Structure 1
Amino acid sequence: MDDLIENSYRPFEPVEAQASSRAERREQQTQRILDAAKACFIRSGFNGASMHDICAAVGMSPGALYRYFPSKEAIVEAICERDRRDDAVLFARVLQEPDVVEGLVMGAMAHIRHMHEDDNAKLFAEICSEAMRNQAVETTCMKNMAEVQQMFAGYIGGAVERGEIDPPVGLDVLLPTLMSIAHGMALNDLPAMRVPLDKLEVLLRAMVVGMLRPTKCLETA
């Protein structure tokens, strides 16, 4: 009887710990689904990849998958949110760089490397393509772009106010132009086109200097 009691005994686990464990397991499963969906989207395209394909890739039933994500659009939104969190870490380092030219070049190069790794550029291209015909995906993409643009508006605008740069156009033109250039570089995956990263950085710096026109450069010209 004592052995039975001992073997049936389980240490008490606080409710908070149980909740934490469940949350961690759900987060791990969520990441598995997103990774599987990413592979399916890259391989078959957004329209070509079905929820059934994603179920097979992650090894779970449709019923289980739909408890996490009700649609492919919801999966895309989660993928974009995950990338947004990654970008937030990157941009936090960029915004700490006091030289706005160096900050933008550093951020652009880091973003180019990130998009090149693990076929992120291919996934980004697929999502952008779907955004042109799918309102839900377009809304997600536009929200992310607006957040990034707002973040850099303060960074570049602060440099203008301090007299450190003197762009030839206002921020209303400069910011979307810079975003479009970054967008194009991410889509084209320049490292995959064998563009040397060191030469690309030189070109990016020259471009940013020309667009922002640092006052110290103007004074020595």
Structure 2
Amino acid sequence: MEDVVFFEATQAEPLEGQGQTRAERRDQQIQRILEAAQTCFVRSGFQGASMHQICAECGMSPGALYRYFPSKESIVAAICEADREDDMTCFSAFRDATSALDGLVEGAMAHIAHTHKKGSAALFAEMRSESNRNATIRDTVDGHKAEIAGMIAPLVQGAIERGEIDPPVDLQTLMAVLMSVGEGIAINDLPARGISLDQIEAAMRAMLVGMLRPTGKRMAQKA
């Protein structure tokens, strides 16, 4: 009798993937591959990690994996796309800020905290290193960086035109420095080195004051 009850109970449990749509199952598999790939890239480096190792890490056959991603470069592109969405969320604070300085500080700190919480620093460092050798990876990484800069630059330009800030260099140079500083801080993961977010924010604000040179004028309050 106990065997019958056990059989009925186990039959009542839903099978893995049961009740999910095809799109949901596909998204789940893609996430599984991306997480496995990130583990392999950090452990073995981009050059050292093979598609076979990624298959083993996620418990998937090569045939199944190649249906989703034909190469490691395509996996990196998918990782960057997911990170792009996170960055857009982090830097959205800039659009609602009352000053360019406050907006940049808030956006940068949101990105630093997110990168630390997600544990992405080692992966970002590996991708940046590989971009120096692999043109496809370089285009992907630099394209992602340029997209974020493209969102911020018009807002900085607007602050310059309103007389809110008076940076000592032209906009192109300013953005190149800002993006490089931000990337360096993300790769180094300062919170993991024992530096508090409050300390980072204080240093970040002081640095940006020197780079932006606020004039004391403020943005007009949005309706």
Q: Hey, what's the Cα distance between the residues in 1 that align with 2:89 and 2:114?
A: 13
Percent of residue pairs identical: 58
**Where does the alignment leave 5 or more consecutive residues of structure 2 unmatched?**
1-19, 218-223
2:154 aligns with 154
Deviations 1:94-114 (A, max 9, x none): 222121111111111111122
Q: Hey, what's the Cα distance between the residues in 1 that align with 2:94 and 2:56?
A: 40
8 Å CA contact 2:157–2:171 kept in 1: the answer is yes
1:36 aligns with 36
Q: Hey, what's the Cα distance between the residues in 2 that align with 1:28 and 1:91?
A: 27
Q: Hey, what's the Cα distance between the residues in 1 that align with 2:111 and 2:67?
A: 33
1:135-214 to structure 2, matched below 5 A, reads 135-214=135-214
Please report the TM-score for the alignment, with normalisation by the length of structure 2. 0.85
Please report the TM-score for the alignment, with normalisation by the length of structure 1. 0.86
2:133 aligns with 133
Deviations 1:171-216 (A, max 9, x none): 0111101111111111111112212221111111111111111111
Q: Hey, what's the Cα distance between the residues in 1 that align with 2:43 and 2:81?
A: 21
Cα root mean square deviation, aligned = 1.4
Q: Hey, what's the Cα distance between the residues in 1 that align with 2:110 and 2:66?
A: 35
1:65 aligns with 65
Q: Tell me which protein shows more helix as a share of its residues.
A: 1
Greater displacement, 86-95 / 130-139: 86-95
Q: Hey, what's the Cα distance between the residues in 1 that align with 2:56 and 2:188?
A: 30
Q: Hey, what's the Cα distance between the residues in 2 that align with 1:72 and 1:35?
A: 13
Which letter maps to 1:96?
D
Secondary structure, aligned partner of 2:165? coil
Q: Does 1:55 align with 2:71?
A: no
State how many pairs are aligned.
Answer: 198
> 1:71: Cα distance to partner?
0.5
The list of structure 1 runs, each at least 4 consecutive aligned residues, that deviate by more than 4 angstroms after superposition, is none
> 1:119: Cα distance to partner?
2.5
Q: Hey, what's the Cα distance between the residues in 2 that align with 1:90 and 1:109?
A: 8
Secondary structure, aligned partner of 1:215? coil
